[in-house]
Amino acid sequence: MLQFARFTATRAVLAVLTLLLVSFIVFTLMELVPGDCAERYIAFKNTQGAVITVADIEAERIRLGLDKPYLERWVKWVWGAFQGDFGDSCILRLNIAQLLGDKFKISLGLSLAALVFAYLIAIPVGIYAAVSKNRVVNNILRLVSYLGLALPNFLLALIIMLFATVYFHNSLTGLFSKEFRDAAWSWAKLVDFLKHAWLPVFILGWSATAFAIQTVRALMSDEIGKLYVTAAEARGVSGRRLLMRYPARHALAPIINSLGFDLNRIFNELPVVALILTLTEAGSLLIDALAKSNDQQLAGAIIFLLTGSIVAMNFITDILLAIMDPRVRKSILR
Amino acid sequence: MTDQTAAPGPLSEADQKAKEAYFTASQRQLIWQRFKKNKSALFGAWVLIVLILSGIFSPFLTPYDPTIAGRDKEYMNGAPEIPRFCDENGCSLRPFVYTTVRERSIKTNFRWVTEVKTGLEDRRYLQFFVEGSPYKLFGMTFNTHLFGVDKGQIHLFGTDSTGKDIFSRTFAAINTSMAVGTIGVFIAFVLALIIGGVSGYYGGWIDSVLQMLTDTIRTVPAIPLFMALAAFIPDTWSAEMRFFFISIILGFIGWPTLARRVRTHLLTERNQEYVLAAQLCGASAGHIIRRHLLPSFTSYIIVDLVISFPYMVLSETALSFIGLGLKDPVNSLGVMLQNVTSADVLLNYQWYFIPVIFFIVLVLAFVFVGDGLRDAADPYSDSKK
């Protein structure tokens, strides 16, 4: 038990270190964007009719703490970020945490749902493909997984939209019906949300599924020829019981390990898919922040949050793996 | 064959040669032998070669300038014109398209209405090797295009909202995508070799630090990061500068996977005797990495490059699609798809989607070739099956 606690602590420290490194990269990028917050605020006041001098900008810089050294501001930003406070966006003049709030939760929820969807399909199908000698099934699966690569999610979304518009005269976009958009969360709103959410989940899960099937199949066919499987078979275990208790357990461990990277891939697709399906509640905020207004605070916060969820995911999967497989725990401590 | 199994005597001359050829064959020849057996990969390779060539020769193969200079003012948002041989007025050996007339008057309720004239005198005949807008190819200027029509313009895939020919743009876009991919893959490749090479060769704490860095970069979702980086591009930059900047960003984010693989190979190879021999001869680390270690897995690196190519192309497409990547007048699939999500396009101008087919084929061809090469480069691929 002590060993396990030590393992968890090591992993947690590593995760925090990674996040710190990421936050440093993100913060540096934000600083590189031309124009700082003081200039933005003052420029805004200028549009309101006030007369501006260079001294005003300097005063504003001091007020916002922008005159402090780079490292000090980074520490301050990171300290806030870990407590969920990202400061204010200079362009929208709103608190970022409030602005993101629900939107980030919805995005994360959609992505996780897509991940679950992908593996719900991929694990049984992948295992079946590895076991079965059926050439037709295997070829179809190969084609599907190739298409998963060649037909990126945003093209799939476009094509689905094209067909939906031409044949059903309904573009299937958005996440809420009009009447629920600004309403508080309620049962009816949840039902409405689920009615809209299946399409983004399917589209986001599409290439993840294709990849996952390929991985499960490869891992499973590696395991299935091993001696312990033959030994189990010789002891009279057979059928589904044999598959699930022996090779599948081993084959699935590396998959748990790669869940974080799958989430990464889904986050990659999220902004573009959100733009196409006009999911204003989700990732397209990032595009707004970057493409339309160059809002570095907002963009930095979003990238930090996305990376944070991936790091958290990696941490959780590491712990899960250690619970399932004592060899992993020992290998870390040695 | 039967003779040999019956009497295992000395091998015949031809067989001896074949055997010798097998054992003395270079890695490249062996890979090619295995690759040839994979029918789908071979087919993919042919498709790829055809597409790349048609991209390079696109100014000749396509009738018009893909930029705004080549626009057809008379035929904006025009439907594809399919050449035909026959209609109710009889047949012709030379394929033809009809003339279209756009009209806006009180009769049409003041909206642009396109009318297709199908009379015999309205036929426009297809011609080959017509003189058209000048273009540069291999540093020389030409003005002959593969095909065109005798009067007006022909648009096989229709035109977009400004009257640019989608057929011409599609092929120009293939060229752009290949160029972006090549530059991006090249930069990623150089970075991966340096970082992976150093990390794998020295091992120890250098390896740990570099691996931590690599893993961190791998955790940051790439496309959102691209978007943040692409937002730095000032609006005043020219299209060419944007193009190079985007390719460079793609390269800078694409290296971690490859670097990891280079490192793993080096970690296993660096304890081999030939490395020790080279070290004892006083060779420098750079020399050993370059001349002794890297050649030992060149084939794997090439395979990895082919596999990572479509990712570059697709990232560029996604980036341009949301308006942060390339912009007019550079053509790429993403640029062409920028405005297709509007209901107007979805309902009325579906030919905007024709280029998508070409890109799916391009990426699929890459995937097939990459997979085929990977199987071919793996000496154990036969025994696995």
Per-residue pLDDT of chain B (385 residues; tens, 9 = 90+): 444 444 455 667 777 777 777 777 666 777 777 778 878 888 888 988 998 888 888 888 877 777 777 777 777 777 777 777 777 777 777 777 777 777 777 766 666 677 777 766 777 777 777 777 777 777 777 777 777 777 777 777 878 777 788 888 888 888 888 888 888 888 888 888 888 888 887 877 888 888 888 888 878 877 777 777 766 666 677 777 778 888 888 887 778 878 887 887 777 777 788 888 888 888 888 888 777 777 777 777 777 788 788 888 888 888 787 777 777 777 887 788 777 767 677 777 777 888 888 888 888 888 888 878 877 776 655 544 4
Whether residue A151 and residue B347 make contact (CB cut-off 8 A), yes or no, is no
**pTM of the entire predicted model:** 0.77
Which chain B residues touch A161 with a CB distance below 8 Å?
341, 346
Query: Out of A150, A171, A286, whose CB is closest to B224?
Result: A286
Q: Which of A50, A65, A98 is the last residue of a domain?
A: A98
Same domain as A94, residue A63: yes
4-63 in A: which are within 8 Å (CB) of B?
17-18, 21-22, 25-26, 29, 32-34
Q: What is the pLDDT of residues A287-307, one digit of tens each?
A: 666 655 666 777 778 888 888
* More confident: A282 or A90: A90
CA atoms of A293 and B61, how far apart (whole Å): 41
* Residue A314 pLDDT greater than 80, yes or no: yes
Which chain B residues touch A303 with a CB distance below 8 Å?
220-221, 224-225, 228
Same domain as A233, residue A205: yes
What's the length of chain A?
334
Name, in order, each residue with C-beta under 8 angstroms of A3's C-beta and a sequence gap of 6 or more.
A329, A330, A333
CB contact, 8 Å: A302 with chain B?
yes
Q: DSSP code of A168? A: I
Angle at alpha carbon of residue A310, lines to A98 and A70, rounded to 5°: 65
Which domain does A33 fall in, by range?
A: 2-98
CA A205 to chain centre: 12
Q: What was the pLDDT predicted at B309?
A: 83
Same domain as A63, residue A160: no
Which chain A residues touch B347 with a CB distance below 8 Å?
165-166
From residue A317, alpha-carbon distances to A114, B188, B342 in Å are: 17, 29, 41
Q: Please answer whether residues B261 and B201 qualify as being in contact, where contact means their C-beta atoms are separated by less than 8 angstroms.
A: no
156-215 in A: which are within 8 Å (CB) of B?
158-159, 161-162, 165-166, 171
Return the structure tokens found at B375: 């199987």
For residue A88, the cross-strand partners are: A95
Could you tell me which of A196, A114, A276 has the C-alpha nearest to residue B334?
Answer: A276
Q: Please answer whether residues B145 and B19 qualify as being in contact, where contact means their C-beta atoms are separated by less than 8 angstroms.
A: no
Name, in order, each residue with C-beta under 8 angstroms of B337's C-beta and a sequence gap of 6 or more.
A158, B317, B321, B352, B355, B356
CB contact, 8 Å: B380 with chain A?
no
- Interhelix angle A96-131/A296-324, rounded to 10 degrees, is 40
Same domain as A319, residue A238: yes
Whether residue B221 and residue A314 make contact (CB cut-off 8 A), yes or no, is no
Query: Out of A260, A276, A286, whose CB is closest to B341?
Result: A276
Q: How many CB pairs under 8 A join A and B?
A: 123
CB contact, 8 Å: A115 with chain B?
no
Angle at alpha carbon of residue A62, lines to A57 and A65, rounded to 5°: 125
Could you tell me which of B232, B299, B230 has the C-alpha nearest to residue B261?
Answer: B299
Q: What was the pLDDT predicted at A91?
A: 65
* More confident: A154 or B230: A154
Q: What is the pLDDT of residues B275-291, one digit of tens each?
A: 888 888 888 888 887 77
Whether residue B360 and residue A155 make contact (CB cut-off 8 A), yes or no, is yes
B233 phi and psi, to 5 degrees? -65, 120
Average pLDDT, chain A: 76
Same domain as A132, residue A197: yes
Whether residue A166 and residue B323 make contact (CB cut-off 8 A), yes or no, is no
Q: What was the pLDDT predicted at B6?
A: 47
Query: Out of A32, A146, A306, whose CB is closest to B367?
Result: A146
CA atoms of B133 and B301, how far apart (whole Å): 42
Stretch A251-275: mean pLDDT, rounded? 80
Q: DSSP code of B79? A: P
121-160 in A: which are within 8 Å (CB) of B?
146-147, 149-152, 154-155, 158-159
Same domain as A307, residue A228: yes
200-259 in B: which are within 8 Å (CB) of A?
212-213, 215-216, 218-225, 227-232, 234
Nearest-by-CA chain B residue for A26: B225
3-state helix, strand, coil in chain A (%, to 5): 80, 0, 20
Query: Amino acid identity, residue B98?
Result: Y
Whether residue A272 and residue B223 make contact (CB cut-off 8 A), yes or no, is yes
Same domain as A250, residue A156: yes
As to burial, measured by CB atoms within 10 angstroms (0-12 exposed, 13-18 middle, 19+ buried), residue A35 is: exposed
Query: Out of B215, B318, B346, whose CB is closest to A161?
Result: B346
CA atoms of A191 and A26, how far apart (whole Å): 37
Name, in order, each residue with C-beta under 8 angstroms of A78's C-beta and a sequence gap of 6 or more.
A20, A23, A27
CATH of the domain at A226: 1.10.3720.10
Q: Please answer whether residues B78 and B72 qualify as being in contact, where contact means their C-beta atoms are separated by less than 8 angstroms.
A: yes
Same domain as A49, residue A83: yes
Whether residue B224 and residue A271 make contact (CB cut-off 8 A), yes or no, is yes
Stretch A133-155: mean pLDDT, rounded? 78
Same domain as A121, residue A63: no
Q: Please answer whether residues B303 and B370 qualify as being in contact, where contact means their C-beta atoms are separated by less than 8 angstroms.
A: yes
Q: DSSP code of A175? A: S
Q: What was the pLDDT predicted at A293?
A: 60
Our CA-based measurement puts residue A95 at a distance from the nearest CA of chain B, in whole angstroms, of 20
Select from A155, A222, A293, A317 the residue whose CB has the most chain B CBs within 10 Å, as the one to mutate to test that interface.
Answer: A155
Interface pTM (ipTM) of the complex?
A: 0.71
Same domain as A117, residue A62: no
CA atoms of A63 and A67, how far apart (whole Å): 9
Q: What was the pLDDT predicted at B1?
A: 42
68-107 in A: which are within 8 Å (CB) of B?
none
Q: What was the pLDDT predicted at B99?
A: 76
Q: Which of A75, A98, A121 is the last residue of a domain?
A: A98
Q: What was the pLDDT predicted at B3?
A: 46
Whether residue A287 and residue B221 make contact (CB cut-off 8 A), yes or no, is no
Our CA-based measurement puts residue A187 at a distance from the nearest CA of chain B, in whole angstroms, of 31
Q: What was the pLDDT predicted at B29?
A: 77
Q: Which of A53, A76, A98 is the last residue of a domain?
A: A98
CA atoms of A190 and A202, how far apart (whole Å): 18
Same domain as A128, residue A94: no
Our CA-based measurement puts residue A222 at a distance from the nearest CA of chain B, in whole angstroms, of 9
Q: What is the pLDDT of residues B160-209, one digit of tens each?
A: 777 788 888 888 888 888 888 888 888 888 888 888 888 887 877 888 88
Q: What was the pLDDT predicted at A191?
A: 72
Which chain B residues touch A154 with a CB distance below 8 Å?
318, 321
- Number of domain units in chain A: 2
Same domain as A79, residue A13: yes
CA atoms of B300 and B168, how far apart (whole Å): 36
CB contact, 8 Å: B357 with chain A?
no
Dihedral sign computed on CA atoms, order A199, A201, A204, A207: negative
59-98 in B: which are within 8 Å (CB) of A?
none
Taking residue B289's Cβ as centre, other Cβ atoms within 10 Å add up to 24
Q: Buried b / exposed e across A195-221, counting CB within 10 Å, b at 16+?
A: ebbebbbbbbbbbbbbbbbbbbbebbb
Dihedral sign computed on CA atoms, order A110, A115, A118, A120: negative
Select from B213, B215, B220 the residue whose CB has the most chain A CBs within 10 Å, as the one to mutate to test that interface.
Answer: B220
A239 backbone φψ class: left, alpha, beta (φ>0; ψ -120 to 50): left
Our CA-based measurement puts residue A269 at a distance from the nearest CA of chain B, in whole angstroms, of 7
Q: What was the pLDDT predicted at B327?
A: 74
Name, in order, each residue with C-beta under 8 angstroms of B266's C-beta and a sequence gap of 6 or more.
B196, B197, B199, B200, B201, B289, B293
Which chain B residues touch A155 with a CB distance below 8 Å?
356, 359-360
